[in-house]
Copies of this chain bind each other. A is one copy, B any other.
Amino acid sequence: MKTELCKVDEALSILVGKWKPIILLHLFSEGTLRFSELKRLMPNITQKMLTKQLRELEEEDIIDRVVYPQVPPKVEYSISEYGKSLETVLNIMHEWGSAHTKHMHEKKNKKILEQSH
């Protein structure tokens, strides 16, 4: 990995966005979900944001979007074949994130312990 050609930012740019990791996680675990189902799984997201994040993931070929031409509308989202290559990355990040949470928690406790003397 040479500093002149750092592609970490490229991966980051796909993943950043307040709701993207959780959206991907839901799609990885559920397979296929309708817009309304995703919305229900994330009560705090607004329709605008959900639409935006999904469009951006679609733009990067990570997810597939299938529109059923009917009334009322039905739109299904799923991880694309190519998008599945992201699973390893997400897993590694999740594992490191978990370990880091633990690390910082222990550090905090140690500090409190020291102060009690």
Contacts and interface: CB of A to CB of B under 8 A. Distances in A.
Interface of A: 1-3, 5-12, 14-16, 21-22, 25-26, 29, 41, 60-61, 82, 85-86, 88-101, 103-104, 107
Contact of A3 (B7, B26, B89, B99): B26
Across the A-B interface, the 3 shortest Cβ-Cβ residue pairs: A7-B97, A10-B97, A11-B97
Contacts of A101: 7, 10
Nearest to A15: B12
Given A12-B15, A21-B12, A94 B7 contact: yes
Contacts of A41: 3
B92 A89 contact: yes
